Amino acid sequence: MLLQVLLSGLAIGAVYGLMAMAFAIVFYVTRVINFATGQLLMVSIMITAALSRAGLPDIVSVVVGVLASTVAGVLIYLLAVRPVLRFDRFSFAWLVSTLGVAIVLQSLAAIIWGPTSRGFPALLNRDNLHIGGAGISVQELLTIIVAIVVLVGFELVRRRTLFGKLGQAISADPEMASAIGARVTGFAIAAFAIGGLLAGVAGILVGPITFSNPYLGDTYGIFGFIALMIGGIERPAAAMGAGSCSASCPSVRTRSSARRRPTGSRSSSSWPCC
């Protein structure tokens, strides 16, 4: 019984952890928190679901869905973040512009696909494994494995390679980094692309459980952000750990999804400004 709780906690925590990593990698290079990260997860889920409904094979829908969230990540950088940073590298104005993007993406999705939940391909969620009396779907197992691989991979790159150290150099002094031959803009684009990719993958992994809904970005954005804040923003590994912990702490989960705008005048949502 305990093992069962632990396994499902781990699986859902892995999703939060992936989201936290999506936030953290962007922050690591650019010192920006992309508040539309949750909506990138939503983009991949919605597009995958729509393509699947249109009759495309699962694998194609999944690949296009993930690609879409990756491209969306890059577009967010180019359209909403880069102009702000060029004006003042130290301002927090990106907070407003990325939140704006989050609102736009979410409402557009609701306009296009309707505000209610719809189906999502089951993918690997049909197959179950049994480990010592506890059941886990292959999908959940895959989620845990992907999270661990991403985490270990990132830590290896960060600590062991010149490439990883360059990331830190770029965030500390972008101009000097370009004066030693680093493509600073390229790096930032890559960071937002990887952020979008991770959010997209997290979406595919969690989609069979949540189905598709334009407001999913809210929930997962919040948990990823909380995991990031509690874990420590400069240590993605700890953020991942915090993601798993917060998943097994049901109190945080229910509280944070209590949603109401201060004015009480607008519909349900707890992501800032949505």
Partner 1 sequence: MTAGIDMAAGRTERARSRSRFIGLGAVALVVVYLAANLGVAHGSYYVQNLAEVGAVFAILALSLDLVAGMTGLYSLGHAGLFALGAYATTLLNANLGWNVFILLPLSVVGVGIVGVVLGALSLRVSGLYFAIMTFIFTLVVTVLISDLDFTGGLQGIAGPTFPDFPEGLSFLGSSVAWCVGIAFLVTVVIVWSIRSSAFYPVLLAIRDAEPFAASAGVRTGVVRVMMFGLSAALAGLAGWAFSFLGFVSPGQFNWTVSVNILVMVILGGINTRLGPIIGAIFISAFPVVISIDPLVQEVIFGAIFVLVIVFFPRGIVGIVTSLARRIRRRPLPATEPSAPDTAPIAEAELAAAGEEPQVSDEIALEVRDVRFGYVRGTTVLDGIDMRVRRGSIHGLIGPNGSGKSTLVNLISGALRPTTGTIEANGHRIERLGAAGRPARGIMRTFQTAVLVRELSVRQNAGIGLYSRVPRISGRSLAWPLFPSAHRDDRAIRTRATAALARVGLGSGWATARVADVPHGVEQLTQLAAATVGEPSILILDEPLAGLSSGEVEQVSEILRQLKRDGVTVIVVEHQTRFIFEMCDEVTVLAAGELVTSGSAAAVRADERVREVYLGQ
Partner 2 sequence: MSAESTTPVIAPALRLEGLYAGYGRFDVLHDIALHVERGEAVALLGPNGAGKTTLLRAIMGMVKQRRGVIEVAGTDVSRLPTHRIARGLVGIVPEGRRLFLGQSVEDNLRLGGLHLRHDHARTAQLLRSVFDLFPVVERYRARPATALSGGEQQMVAIGRMMMSDPELMLLDEPSLGLAPLAIQSMADALLALRERGRSILLVEQRVDLALQVCDRIYVLSGGRIVEQGAADDIDGRGRALIDAYLG
Binding site for partner 1 (CB under 8 A): 35, 79-80, 83-84, 87-88, 91-97, 99-108, 110-111, 115, 222, 226, 229-230, 232-234, 251-252, 255-256, 258-267, 270-274
Which pair of structure tokens corresponds to residue 73? 């990540």
Residue 21 partner contact from partner 1, partner 2, none using kind-dependent CB cut-offs of 5 to 8 Å: none
Tokens of 28: 């690591």
Q: Which does 256 bind (CB under 5 to 8 A by kind): partner 1, partner 2, none?
A: partner 1
Nearer to partner 2, 181 or 262 (CB): 181
Cα-only R_g, the chain = 18
Minimum gap (Å) between residue 264 Cβ and partner 1: 7
Which residues in 152-181 contact partner 2 (CB under 8 A)?
A: 162, 165-166, 168-169, 172-173, 175-176, 178-181
Compute the least distance from the CB of residue 49 to partner 2, in Å.
41
Q: Can you tell me the distance from the alpha carbon of 130 to that of 118, in angstroms, rounded to the nearest whole number?
A: 29
By beta-carbon proximity to partner 2, the closer residue of 25 and 144 is 25
**Which option in partner 1, partner 2, none does residue 258 bind, with CB closer than 5 to 8 A by kind?**
partner 1
Out of partner 1, partner 2, none, which partner does residue 230 contact, by CB within 5 to 8 A per kind? partner 1
State which residue, 6 or 110, has the beta carbon closest to partner 1.
110
> From the CB of 48, what's the least distance to partner 2, in Å?
36
Kindly determine how many residues on this chain lie close enough to bind partner 2 according to the rule CB under 8 A.
16
- Which parts of 181-200 interact with partner 2 (CB under 8 A)? 181-184
In the complex, the smallest distance separating the C-beta of residue 50 from partner 1, rounded to whole angstroms, is: 17
Q: Which does 88 bind (CB under 5 to 8 A by kind): partner 1, partner 2, none?
A: partner 1
- Give the nearer residue to partner 1 in terms of CB position, either 140 or 223: 223
| C-alpha distance from residue 21 to each of 75, 80, 183, 195 (Å) | 19, 21, 22, 7
Contact at 8 Å (CB) between 250 and 258? no
Q: Which does 165 bind (CB under 5 to 8 A by kind): partner 2, partner 1, none?
A: partner 2
Identify residues 206-265 at the interface with partner 2 (CB under 8 A): none
CB within 8 Å of 256: residues ≥ 6 apart = 222, 223, 226, 270
Q: Say which entry of partner 2, partner 1, none residue 164 contacts (CB below 5 to 8 A, set by partner kind).
A: none
Q: What are the residues binding partner 2 (CB under 8 A)?
A: 162, 165-166, 168-169, 172-173, 175-176, 178-184
